[in-house]
């Protein structure tokens, strides 16, 4: 499908570049080329219109190139329309009067102001079918953007404390994962996150409850409020997870200091750092991350919406350092796209625009997304080869 999308996008771009409609060109071509129905997924919602309207060869390449998503929270893909549907289906009062009202409420001043609404939204998720529908909608969307591999976060404690057990939410998610593999060719693995505003005892209890489902889990992560909740508080549960053979990641250095990134590495033993934005404040840490090839999952639109970056100029300065001025293993991700106004494509388009990235630099980000994944070397090489193929196709098309 990739080459089909790329060629069609180029052809369409040539003839319609100046048209004033706001339809995302890559989506039109995905729709034309793919036999899969993406009726829900292709509805453009909340995307940065400046980026959606930005059309050209590099944007077509972004649409076509295979990508991995390593920092995406399942619960953060709950679009307002589905939130209202599930509330009605489950006989709950609607959390918002309309989807539009929900989007208008998504104005955040920091991480905590987002988390308050995020946990509120999760209250509509009650049955296995709810979790299946949520996951499937996201997988369709991801596949339509040529995402090939996902290491998906989910937050068990958010559901357990509402008396929704593993035996309800996990089968729903797993069924969607199986269907995604069969129908979309999409590879999905699951990373269970502990909520850092809760105690380590609660995290340990969650890990114990997850043990019967161990075979379905790739790893563990740490998310939620970072301020004054250093990673070292969770040292014991990470040791237990490691003993179970789970891979280790953690959010660190989003709002918390560079010291929290060090703690995540040294005390928790993480193999990849989520966000890690403030790592740049510590040159010894940057050197360590570079030398050890520890992946950092950047989430640009999340950082904009949560005011980690106060403006685009700051975003360009910081992301430019990560992507263009260091040898850090960084890639782009969407975090909680239903709340932050953009899925993976939107994040690539945003960063491409503010840094004027060349196609080689976009290709490197896409390759990094597989390099920093927990795929085998063989699988990584497979996707790197696919990226090289799309790149070659791009070169042929632009040199015509």
SS3 track for 10-79: HHHHHHHCCCCCCCCHHHHHHHHHCCCCCCCCCCCCCCCHHHHCCCCHHHHHHHHCCEEEEEEEHHHHCC
Stretch that binds Zn ion, among 30-38, 42-50, 131-139, 329-337 (CB under 5 A): 329-337
Q: Say whether 325 is catalytic.
A: no
Which of the residues 25, 79, 145, 254 is marked catalytic?
254
Distance in Å, CB of 275 to Zn ion, minimum: 7
Distance in Å, CB of 21 to Zn ion, minimum: 33
Stretch that binds Zn ion, among 4-12, 29-37, 167-175, 332-340 (CB under 5 A): 332-340
Distance in Å, CB of 251 to Zn ion, minimum: 6
Exactly one of 27, 130, 263, 335 binds Zn ion (CB under 5 A); which one?
Answer: 335
Torsion angle of alpha carbons 182, 187, 190, 196, nearest 10°? Answer: -140
Distance in Å, CB of 104 to Zn ion, minimum: 23
If phi > 0 it is left, if psi is from -120 to 50 it is alpha, else beta; for residue 381 that is: alpha
Sign of the alpha-carbon torsion through 111, 70, 118, 100: positive
Nearer to Zn ion (CB atom), residue 27 or residue 335: 335
CB 330 within 8 A of CB 322: yes
Burial class (CB in 10 A: 0-12, 13-18, 19+), 28: middle
Nearer to Zn ion (CB atom), residue 61 or residue 153: 153
The residue sitting closest to Zn ion, measured at its beta carbon, is 335
3-state secondary structure of 222: strand
For tokens 């309207």, the residue is 53
Stretch that binds Zn ion, among 34-42, 203-211, 325-333, 335-343 (CB under 5 A): 335-343
Taking Cα atoms as reference points, which of 196, 197, 373 lies closest to residue 268?
A: 196
Distance in Å, CB of 111 to Zn ion, minimum: 9
Stretch that binds Zn ion, among 105-113, 168-176, 233-241, 328-336 (CB under 5 A): 328-336
Nearer to Zn ion (CB atom), residue 249 or residue 387: 249
Q: How many helices (H) and strands (E) does the chain have?
A: 20, 8
Query: Is position 75 an interface residue for Zn ion (rule: CB under 5 A)?
Result: no
Nearer to Zn ion (CB atom), residue 6 or residue 306: 306
The residues that touch Zn ion, with contacts defined as CB under 5 A, are 335
């Amino acid at each position: 499908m990739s080459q089909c999308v790329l060629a069609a996008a180029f052809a369409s771009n040539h003839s319609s570049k100046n048209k004033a409609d706001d339809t995302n060109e890559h989506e039109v071509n995905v729709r034309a080329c793919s036999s899969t129905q993406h009726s829900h997924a292709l509805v453009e919602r909340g995307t940065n219109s400046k980026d959606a309207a930005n059309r050209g060869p590099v944007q077509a390449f972004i649409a076509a190139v295979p990508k991995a998503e390593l920092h995406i929270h399942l619960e953060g893909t709950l679009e307002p329309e589905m939130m209202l549907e599930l509330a009605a289906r489950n006989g709950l009062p609607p959390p918002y009067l309309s989807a539009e009202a929900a989007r208008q409420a998504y104005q955040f001043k920091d991480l905590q102001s987002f988390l308050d609404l995020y946990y509120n939204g999760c209250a509509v998720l009650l049955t296995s079918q709810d979790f299946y529908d949520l996951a499937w909608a996201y997988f369709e969307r991801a596949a339509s953007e040529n995402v090939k591999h996902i290491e998906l976060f989910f937050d068990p404690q958010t559901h357990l404390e509402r008396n929704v057990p593993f035996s309800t939410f996990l089968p729903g998610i797993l069924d969607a994962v199986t269907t995604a593999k069969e129908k979309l060719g999409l590879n999905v693995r699951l990373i269970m996150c502990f909520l850092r505003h809760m105690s380590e005892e609660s995290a340990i209890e969650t890990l114990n409850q997850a043990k019967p489902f161990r075979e379905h889990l790739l790893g563990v992560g740490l998310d939620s409020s970072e301020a004054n909740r250093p990673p070292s508080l969770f040292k014991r549960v990470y040791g237990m997870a490691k003993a179970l053979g789970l891979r280790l990641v953690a959010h660190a250095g989003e709002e918390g200091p560079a010291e929290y990134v060090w703690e995540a590495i040294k005390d928790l033993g993480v193999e990849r750092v989520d966000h890690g934005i403030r790592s740049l404040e510590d040159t010894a840490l940057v050197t360590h991350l570079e030398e050890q090839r520890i992946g950092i999952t950047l989430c640009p639109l999340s950082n904009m919406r949560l005011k980690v970056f106060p403006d685009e100029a700051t975003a360009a300065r910081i992301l430019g350092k990560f992507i263009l001025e260091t040898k850090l293993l960084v890639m782009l991700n969407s975090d909680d796209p239903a709340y932050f106004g953009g899925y993976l494509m939107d994040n690539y388009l945003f960063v491409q625009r503010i840094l004027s990235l060349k196609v080689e630099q976009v290709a490197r980000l896409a390759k990094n997304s597989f390099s920093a994944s927990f795929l085998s070397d063989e699988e990584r090489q497979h996707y790197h080869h696919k990226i090289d193929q799309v790149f070659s196709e791009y070169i042929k098309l632009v040199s015509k």
